[in-house]
Each structure stands twice: as structure tokens, then as C-alpha cells.
């Protein structure tokens, strides 16, 4: 089990996600972002805008994801 925060995953707060795989982690962060989006949370809205800018370039998005996955791999495992 590893821990990453919303901020570490391109979000806007210190909410923590706990997951065993990077895919799971990304999925949790996506769900959290959607919840905050529905609440109209301003910091998350602007963070999501930035991510959408990034997604316009598949290359940049891929590089970003690979970077985050590396970050995830380097995190210490905990139970
Ligand atoms: Zn957040």
C-alpha cells in the first residue's frame, strides 16, 4: 500500500489516496477530482483546467503519467 496526495497527482489539496497500484491510485484521484468538480471547488477546478491543457498533447500527458508512475514506484510501501 502506498500513499499519494491529491496535490502530488495534479490536484489541489492534501487529501490522501492509498492504493497498491498506480492505476488504482490514478482512478481514486480521478473520482476525487470529479467530486470536487461537482462541488464547484475553485482550486480543484483550476487544477483540472491545467490537466486538460496537458491532455491536449498526448506526448505531454504520457510524460506526465510516466513521471507520476516513477514517483509512485519510489514511494515506500506501508501496511
Ligand atoms: Zn483534492
Read off the pLDDT of residues 8-61 as tens digits, 9 standing for 90 and up. Answer: 999 999 999 999 999 999 999 999 999 999 999 999 999 999 999 999 999 999
Alpha-helical (H) ranges within the chain are: 22-39, 42-55, 58-74
Distance 57 CA to ligand 1 centre (A): 23
Distance 76 CA to ligand 1 centre (A): 22
Distance 6 CA to ligand 1 centre (A): 5
Q: For residue 79, is pLDDT > 80?
A: no
Distance 1 CA to ligand 1 centre (A): 20
Alpha carbon dihedral 28, 4, 37, 56, in 10-degree steps, equals -90
Q: Rounded distance, CA 41 to CA 62, Å?
A: 26
Distance 74 CA to ligand 1 centre (A): 22
Amino acid at each position: 500500500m502506498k500513499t499519494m496526495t491529491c496535490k502530488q497527482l495534479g490536484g489541489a489539496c492534501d487529501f490522501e489516496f492509498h492504493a497498491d497500484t498506480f492505476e488504482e491510485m490514478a482512478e481514486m484521484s480521478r473520482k476525487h477530482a470529479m467530486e470536487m468538480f461537482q462541488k464547484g471547488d475553485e482550486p480543484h477546478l483550476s487544477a483540472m483546467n491545467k490537466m486538460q491543457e496537458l491532455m491536449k498533447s498526448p506526448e505531454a500527458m504520457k510524460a506526465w503519467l510516466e513521471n507520476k508512475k516513477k514517483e509512485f514506484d519510489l514511494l515506500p510501501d506501508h501496511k
